[in-house]
Amino acid sequence: MIPAEMRNFFRAVASVLVIFLIFFGVPVLIYSVFQRFLGMTPPSQLTQAAIYQLASLKAAETFVLVILFIMIIDRKRGKESKYAFFLAFLLFVQGGVVHELWSYLTLGSPQRYMVAGVCSSFISYALAAWFLSKLYKSTTDLIVP
């Protein structure tokens, strides 16, 4: 049997990897759908360096979400689902809505980019919260009084 510390470590590593794939893959999918069906053109400054920067930002978002979630549920066993969705909602408002509105209002990005960004952030954070709530779901025999 695997010790509890190793299980927690592997669970954290798995959650970081899967949520990174969610945070990086969903925006690519959403922007591709917007390009295909709504005629949105990709930005001209999208270079390989920009993609690496995007990947590093998504990795940072992933670490923030997973580390905060693990720190919060350490003492709140049995309520993982509520905390996962609450934390994901707060990070969605901060990382999705506020950032997209800022870039729309100050940088003058097109309205379709703002809508695509908010949609991809919403779907990404909802999937991440669902995954975290399922991966860290506690059972009654794990809860110590």
Judge whether 92 lies within some domain. yes
Going by C-alpha positions, the residue among 58, 56, 62 that lies closest to residue 12 is 62
Show the tokens assigned to 84. 């996962």
Can you give the pTM of this predicted structure?
Answer: 0.80
Judge whether 53 lies within some domain. yes
What's the confidence (pLDDT) of residue 43? 66
Kindly tell me if the per-residue pLDDT of 73 is higher than 80: no
pLDDT confidence bin for 44, thresholds 50/70/90? low
Judge whether 46 lies within some domain. yes
Judge whether 143 lies within some domain. no
Q: Which residues contact 60 (CB under 8 A, 6 or more apart)?
A: none
For residue 37, the enclosing domain spans 4-135
Judge whether 118 lies within some domain. yes
Kindly tell me if the per-residue pLDDT of 37 is higher than 60: yes
Show the tokens assigned to 83. 């905390």
Rounded Cα–Cα distance for residues 81 and 94 (Å):
20
Judge whether 142 lies within some domain. no
For the chain, the domain total comes to 1
- Per-position b or e across 94-114, b if 16+ CB within 10 A of its CB: ebbeeebeeebeeeeeeeebb
Judge whether 141 lies within some domain. no
Provide the residue count of the chain: 145
Judge whether 144 lies within some domain. no
pLDDT confidence bin for 123, thresholds 50/70/90? very high
Q: Give 59-69 pLDDT, tens digit per residue.
A: 888 888 888 88
